[in-house]
């Protein structure tokens, strides 16, 4: 498709619109919060940072803005984009619209890792590290087990193995919950499993962003091959690609993204499932166009939801609750409207 064609123009227009929308949302999110910051103060704070001279009167604003709120905005954008991208890849890879990034057990594994960390009363960075490792390890085990099984449709075996290991991780997690201190650890576990960006800080974003970017590289470079994969292994092989190696690469990339997000934000459901569908409605199933659109919508959606989460009440509303309340109706509507094509 040459760049001048109408479809490409409309994609560009969609993307430009989405970028503007997300930017507006980001500015709004930077201004909204329990600590009141006016637009003038926002500009002043940025100017101060650029000139390097911090006015003591604005020191508190500076802390809230640059250490609390903006890292959180960045984390929301990152989480939404990464989860939506991972979901889009998985849905193409498994040729199934009901697939979400935690299909192969990454969320269950990451959840188990984090809960183990809370159970052992480890400091926060260790909890995050365990969560990240847990997510990666679970998917690695799923992949290895599924590769060991031969003679069946490979994606089917992967999905079934993922479900089995996810359930196993869930069982271990329940066991830890039962053993945990009900007055101290159990609430922490519950909050963690519902997902939240409340405790995200700049260091978390700086640690996670490179991982997500690294994982994005193969997706962007090989984006048209995701389309081939969605035709099925035989067709993909006939078209000259190695489906097994590609699948491994895409699964590794999507898992890396999801695991790094889950490590800092906890388990956030629905985004990876619903956002790719909305993106598909806008720009069609071609992964070339789907990936940037889904990432932008995901980022904007996550940012909006997180801003709601921190402003709805005096305390934090869990992200998992909000994404489910917003995601479930959208999903039912998508099912009812009967559109197809992934």
Partner 1 sequence: MMLRRIARMDQGRGCNRHACHRRGAAARHRRLRCWLLALCCWLPFGAEAARLIEDSAGRKVAIPERIERVYAAGPPASILVYVLAPDKLTGWPRAPRKDERPYLAPATRDLPETGRLTGRGNTTNLEVMLRTRPDLIIDFGAVNATYVSLADQVQAQTGIPYLLIDGRFEQTPAALRLVGDILGVGDRGEARASEVEALLTTLDDVLATIPERERPRVYMARGPNGLETGLKGSINTEIIERAGGRNVADPGDASLRRGIVQVSVEQVIVANPDTIITWDPNFYRGVWRDPLWAGIEAVQRQRVFLSPLVPFGWIDRPPSLNRIIGLKWLASLFYPDQMPMDLRAETRAFYRRFYHVDLDDNTLEQLLQWTQGHPPN
Among 5, 12, 23, 121, binds partner 1 (CB under 8 A): 121
Question: Does residue number 55 form part of the binding site for partner 1 (CB under 8 A)?
Answer: no
Count of H helices and E strands in the chain? 15, 0
Q: Does 31 bind partner 1 (CB under 8 A)?
A: no
- Site residues for partner 1, window 60-99 (CB under 8 A)? 60, 63-64, 67-69, 72
Between CA 293 and CA 17 the distance in angstroms is 10
**Candidates 94-102, 180-188, 218-226, 237-245; binding stretch for partner 1 (CB under 8 A):** 180-188
Among 30-38, 163-171, 219-227, 244-252, which window interacts with partner 1 (CB under 8 A)? 30-38
Long-range contact set of residues 209-216: C-beta below 8 Å, sequence gap at least 24? 209/74, 209/78, 211/256, 211/257, 211/260, 212/78, 212/81, 212/82, 212/256, 212/257, 212/260, 212/261, 214/256, 215/82, 215/252, 215/253, 215/254, 215/256, 215/257, 215/260, 216/85, 216/253, 216/257
Q: Which stretch binds partner 1 (CB under 8 A): 101-109, 185-193, 207-215, 231-239?
A: 185-193
Query: Which of 11-19, 78-86, 198-206, 256-264 is the region at the interface with partner 1 (rule: CB under 8 A)?
Result: 198-206
Q: Is the CB of 81 or the CB of 188 nearer to partner 1?
A: 188
CA 193 from chain centre, in angstroms, equals: 14
As to burial, measured by CB atoms within 10 angstroms (0-12 exposed, 13-18 middle, 19+ buried), residue 69 is: buried
| Residues near partner 1, by CB under 8 A | 33-35, 59-60, 63-64, 67-69, 72, 118, 121-124, 127, 177-178, 181-184, 186-188, 191, 196, 198-199, 201, 310, 313-316, 318
């Amino acid at each position: 498709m040459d760049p001048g064609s109408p479809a490409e123009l409309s994609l560009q227009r969609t993307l430009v619109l989405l970028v503007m929308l997300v930017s507006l949302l980001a500015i709004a999110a930077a201004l909204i919060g329990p600590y009141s910051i006016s637009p003038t103060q926002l500009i002043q704070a940025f100017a101060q940072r650029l000139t390097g001279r911090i006015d003591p009167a604005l020191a508190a604003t500076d802390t809230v803005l640059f250490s609390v709120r903006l890292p959180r905005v960045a984390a929301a954008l990152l989480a939404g984009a990464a989860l939506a991208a991972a979901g889009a890849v998985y849905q193409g890879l498994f040729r199934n619209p009901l697939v979400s990034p935690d299909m192969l057990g990454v969320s269950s594994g990451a959840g188990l890792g984090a809960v183990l960390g809370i159970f052992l009363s480890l400091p926060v960075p260790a909890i995050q590290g365990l969560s990240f490792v847990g997510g990666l390890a679970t998917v690695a085990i799923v992949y290895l087990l599924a590769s060991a099984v031969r003679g069946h449709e490979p994606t089917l075996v992967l999905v079934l193995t993922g479900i089995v290991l996810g359930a196993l991780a869930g069982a271990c997690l329940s066991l830890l919950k039962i053993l945990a201190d009900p007055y101290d650890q159990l609430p922490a576990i519950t909050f963690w499993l519902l997902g939240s960006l409340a405790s995200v800080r700049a260091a978390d974003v700086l640690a996670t962003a490179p991982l997500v970017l690294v994982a994005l590289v193969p997706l962007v470079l090989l984006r048209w091959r995701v389309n081939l994969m969605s035709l099925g292994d035989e067709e993909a092989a006939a078209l000259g690609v190695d489906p097994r190696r590609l699948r491994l690469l895409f699964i590794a990339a999507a898992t890396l993204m999801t695991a790094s997000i889950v490590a800092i934000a906890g388990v956030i459901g629905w985004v990876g499932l619903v956002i790719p569908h909305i993106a598909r409605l806008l720009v069609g199933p071609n992964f070339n166009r789907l990936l940037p659109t889904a990432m932008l919508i995901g980022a904007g959606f996550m940012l909006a939801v997180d801003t709601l989460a921190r402003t709805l009440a005096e305390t934090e509303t869990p992200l998992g609750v909000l994404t489910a309340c917003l995601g479930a109706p959208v999903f039912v509507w998508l099912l009812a409207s009967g559109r197809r094509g992934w």
